Amino acid sequence: MSPRNRKTQLWLIFGGLLIALLLAAVFTLGSLDLPFQPRQWTEVLILYAVSTFIVSALLVFGLVLARTVLRLWAERHAHQPGARFKTKMVLAAMAISLLPVVTMFIFTYGLVSRTMERWFPRPLEIAVDESQKLLADFGRTQHERLSQLAEQVSMGEVSKNSRSPAYAALIYGADAAWRLDVAGNPLEVQVGTRSSGTAPDAVQTMDHPPVPRMIRMLPGGGELWNLGGVNYVAGRAVRNDGTLVVARRLPADFFQRFTSVETEMRTYSLQHQQYRVYKGQIYLVFSLFTLLLLFASTWFALFLSKQVTVPIQALAEGTREVMTGNFDYRVEAQAQDELATLVRSFNQMTAQLGESRRQIDDFTRNLQLAVQELERRRKVMEAIQENIPTGVLSLDDNGAILRSNSAVTKIFGERARTAQSLVDLMGEDAARGVQHLMRRSLRMGAASKELEVELPGRVLHAAVTVSSLGPRRSNPGFVVVVDDLTDLLHAQKASAWQEVAQRIAHEIKNPLTPIQLSAERLGRHLERQHAAGTKPADPDLTHLVGECSALIGREATALKALVDEFSQFARFPTARLVSTDLNAIVTSALDIFAGQMDGVTVRTALAPNLPAIKADPELLRRVVVNLIDNAAEAMEGSAVRALAIATAPGTDGETVHIEVADSGHGISPEDKDKLFLPHFSTKDRGTGLGLAISGRIIAEHHGTIRVEDNTPVGARFVIELPVAEVPATPLPSES
Ligand code: ADP
């Protein structure tokens, strides 16, 4: 069961209990001993119907009011929206309705009091009292007089006539007299008839008088008798042998009037006794109506305030829902007038918000997809940029470096990592050249040029292309693309020299053999003359010719060796690559110099477990031998002669390094650029082919060779060669 259902059930139980209590109250009120004493069943019915209606209405309103007030209290306690407004409305309605209700109550109270007083006026009360006294006096005086007469007559004190005491009584003024025995039966009845003013002895008696019958006692003591249809007031004298009753005649309608007066007096006094009870009942009825009015006004105030607070509460609830992002929420509360418009507007607003939210969600989703796509493209671009050998720089409109790829560092060296401007990166001369290109690119979009950049220790030949990112007035920056042409230029020069070497070798070799043969022939001719003992005609000339032919022969041989070397360079054999141990090659190269390195400290640091390389061992050994030979020659004039040879695996795991460092005279920056060209040599009899051939051999091995300054002095040659088999590295997982 949900908490809401449980709450409803609790309320129902509470309401049931309340109804039971109120029913008990109705029952109690209904069974009250009301002061009304209705005599007809219709009156009883009306009385009960009216009281039931009042009590029922009171109960219904009371129940509704109690429930509403309790709910109001609970709402106020729970700080529900609208509870304060409802409370204010109810209090205001009560205050406003109390004024007329209380006025009406006071007015009604006065009215009822005055009306009730008119019902029982004071003169009427006096008249009633006096009537009662008169009746009592009348009864008492008649009774006393007649009883006295009866006593006198029965005692014989007045006996003018001795016929009977009853007759005597007639004589003395009574209208009738009769004697009764002890059991009350009439013994003698005398009824006199006389005209007024007649003497008692003129009384006539009836021969057959009727039987007297006592009707009742009068207030004050008189007795009322009926004799032959005529009413009498009587007094009596009691003796041992019976009773004498002496009576006087009363008017014919006396009894009827007496009864009527007596009844009215009794009714009046009874009603007067219940005066307060009537008043109380009327006030009770008015109180009930007053309360009813109060309840009605309160209930109406609640009803009115609910018309406002229920929609407001629903709107507040709706606002909360909208705040949590539920735009499908609709306010269902029934509202009237302007509030209905407000609820309708709120629902429309929520619907529009929901629609906007959906559009924003769609837009955000699309935007996210676009951003993801852009990010993917950016990564691809970044990967391309990072992996191409071309250096890419992005500059702002003032030429300050914003970003650069890793190729820039490879091309320009470590200074590229910290360089903020073109001057920092490539020096003033080259930077001026690039700035010129930037200006041109503003006019033409893009501009290219080949530049020579002087870097510490070397000269960089670069093809630089500058593109502007926008028109001159709103240009956000430039992109500079740098291609390192140094190796290409070297290769071009090398191949040009190869061709030159081929031609020279060919051109020189052809006349060389006849020259050498002629010189040898001249020499042999002179030797034969000398052996035959023939005295030369001109000994000086002969001696000169002999010396010259020997010199020509020697130089021709040297020239031939040079030409051979040239032609070897030109017809360089293709390297046959096999899996080779680099350390073994280095060791065998060093072996050649065993015993010839006097005064040179040779240090070797060969890395153990070096991966095998694909190499032509003979050619590679020639390269190492050439490097060691050059180093030894460079150190000839040095005070400290130290040669360091090292092998090491590359940091990327795909290459191995050989380093040959010496403490010789070193190489100037401008010489470094020409070092690997065939013609370059600083030695008197150097061919300049050693490093050129070494460069070609390393290129055949898909490796690189470069020269750096050794610290503190000398030169260091570094060869990088790819390993035979790159160990398989696990690819990064898809996730
Ligand atoms: P060669 O030895 O016939 O001159 P190389 O090509 O071997 O031809 O060398 C070219 C030039 O490079 C040399 O003349 C020398 O000036 C320079 N060189 C080579 N190795 C060194 C070195 N270790 N130290 C200084 N200069 C060197």
> Sheet containing 458-468: which strands, arranged edge to edge?
401-404, 391-396, 477-484, 458-468, 446-455
User: What percent of the chain lies above the pLDDT cut of 70?
Assistant: 86
Question: What integer pLDDT is reported at residue 720 of this predicted model?
Answer: 93
Q: Are strands 186-191 and 176-180 parallel, antiparallel or unpaired?
A: antiparallel
pLDDT at residue number 149 = 86
Q: How far is the CA of 630 from the centre of ligand 1 (A)?
A: 6
**Percentage above 90 pLDDT, the chain:** 21
The 8-class DSSP code of residue 218 comes to P
Nearest atom within ligand 1 for CA of residue 681: 14
For residues 274 and 455, which has the higher predicted lDDT (pLDDT)?
A: 455
pLDDT of residue 656: 94
Least confident of 158-167, 327-336, 416-425, 721-730: 158-167
Among 597, 630, 659, 683, which is best to mutate for testing ligand 1, by the most ligand atoms less than 8 A from CB?
A: 630
Measure 572 CA to ligand 1 centroid, in angstroms: 20
- The pLDDT-based confidence of 420 (bands split at 50, 70, 90) is very high
Distance, CA of 698 to CA of 707 (rounded, Å): 13
Q: Which helix (H) or strand (E) holds 54?
A: helix 41-77
Per residue in 518-567, pLDDT (tens digit) is 888 888 888 888 888 777 778 888 888 888 888 888 888 878 877 777 77
Residues 6+ apart with CB under 8 A from 454: 427, 429, 430, 460, 669
> Which of 169-183, 277-291, 593-607 tops mean pLDDT?
593-607
pLDDT digits (tens, 9 = 90+) for 573-599: 677 888 999 999 999 999 888 888 888
Q: In this structure, which amino acid lies at residue 244?
A: L
State the residue for tokens 């795991």: 653
Strand (E) or helix (H) holding 272: helix 254-273
Residue 33's pLDDT is 45
- In the reported structure, the alpha carbon of residue 191 is separated from the centroid of ligand 1 by a whole-number distance in angstroms of 197
pLDDT at 676: 85
- Rounded Cα distance between 249 and 478, Å, is 155
Coil, strand or helix: which one is 294?
Answer: helix
Distance CA 332, CA 719 (A): 85
Instruction: Report strand pairing: 391-396 vs 401-404.
Output: antiparallel
Residue 32: per-residue pLDDT: 44
| Residue 82 to residue 535: CA distance in whole angstroms | 150
DSSP state of 677: S
Average pLDDT value for residue range 302-314: 81
> What is the C-alpha R_g of the chain?
76
Residues with CB under 6 A from ligand 1: 626, 630-631, 634, 662, 664-665, 667, 675, 680-683, 686-692, 715
Give residue-wise pLDDT tens across range 81-123: 777 887 888 788 778 877 887 887 788 778 877 877 777 777 8
What pLDDT does residue 29 have?
46
SS3 content of the chain, % helix, strand, coil (to 5): 60, 15, 25
Counts of helices then strands in the chain (DSSP H, E): 17, 18
Largest CA distance in the chain: 258
Q: What is the pLDDT of residue 644?
A: 95
Q: How many angstroms separate the alpha carbon of residue 708 from the centre of ligand 1?
A: 13
Name the most confidently modeled range: 212-216, 217-221, 282-286, 378-382: 378-382
User: What does residue 372 show for φ and ψ, rounded to 5 degrees?
Assistant: -60, -45
Q: Which run of H or of E encompasses 610? A: none
Residue 598 Cα to ligand 1 middle (Å): 20
Q: Is 420 helix (H, G, I), strand (E, B) or coil?
A: coil
How many CB atoms sit inside 10 A of residue 595's CB? Answer: 5
Decide if 480 contacts 393 (C-beta within 8 A): yes
The closest-lying atom of ligand 1 relative to the alpha carbon of residue 630 is: 20
- For residues 251 and 238, the answer to whether their CB atoms sit within 8 Å is no
Taking CA atoms only, the protein residue closest to ligand 1 atom 16 is 682
What pTM did the predictor assign? 0.43
pLDDT category, 44, cuts 50, 70, 90? low
DSSP-derived 3-state class of residue 92: helix
For the ranges 146-150, 258-262, 508-512, which has the lowest average pLDDT? 508-512
Contact between 353 and 322 (Cβ < 8 Å): yes
Give the Cα separation of 719 and 715 in Å (integer).
13
Q: What is the mean pLDDT of residues 447-467?
A: 88
| pLDDT-based confidence at residue 371 (cuts at 50, 70, 90) | very high
694 C-alpha vs ligand 1 centroid, how far in Å?
A: 11
**Beta carbons within 8 Å of 227's beta carbon, 6+ residues apart:** 176, 178, 189, 191, 209, 210, 211, 212, 213, 247
Nearest atom in ligand 1 to the alpha carbon of residue 717 is 23
In 388-421, alpha helices (H): 406-412, 415-418
Distance 665 CA to ligand 1 centre (A): 11
Can you tell me which atom of ligand 1 is nearest the CA of 631? 23
- Ligand 1 atom 20 nearest Cα: 630
DSSP 316: H
Q: Which residue has the higher pLDDT, 33 or 398?
A: 398
HEC string of 339-356? HHHHHHHHHHHHHHHHHH
Considering only 38-52, 78-92, 169-183, 386-400, which range has the smallest mean pLDDT? 38-52
**d(CA 584, ligand 1 centre) in Å:** 25
The DSSP string of 130-163 is HHHHHHHHHHHHHHHHHHHHHHHHHHTSS-SS-S
Ligand 1 centroid from CA 735, angstroms: 54
482: β partners:
391, 464
Residue 195: is its pLDDT beyond 60? no
Per-residue pLDDT at 46: 65
**pLDDT surpasses 60 at 733:** no
What pLDDT, on the 0 to 100 scale, is given for residue 168?
80
pLDDT of 370 > 50? The answer is: yes
User: Average pLDDT, stretch 20-34?
Assistant: 49
Which of 181, 165, 179, 152 minimizes the C-alpha distance to 244? 179
Higher pLDDT, 384 or 564: 384
Among all chains, which residue has been given the structure tokens 């929420």?
329
- As a whole number, the mean pLDDT across the chain is 82
Give the mean pLDDT of 336-349. 89
Q: Does the pLDDT value for residue 657 go beyond 90? A: yes
When mean pLDDT is compared across 120-134, 176-190, 288-302, 487-501, the lowest value belongs to 288-302
Whether residue 500 has pLDDT greater than 90: no
User: Which of 625, 628, 679, 682 has the most ligand 1 atoms within 8 A of CB, as the residue to mutate?
Assistant: 682
Which 3 state secondary structure label does DSSP give 594?
Answer: coil
Please say whether the beta carbons of 560 and 595 come within 8 A.
no
- At residue 734, the pLDDT reads 38
The answer to whether 625 and 589 have CB atoms below 8 angstroms apart is yes
Q: Nearest residue CA, atom 23 of ligand 1?
A: 631
CA distance 260 to 590: 170
Mean pLDDT of 236-256: 85
CA 691 to ligand 1: nearest atom: 6
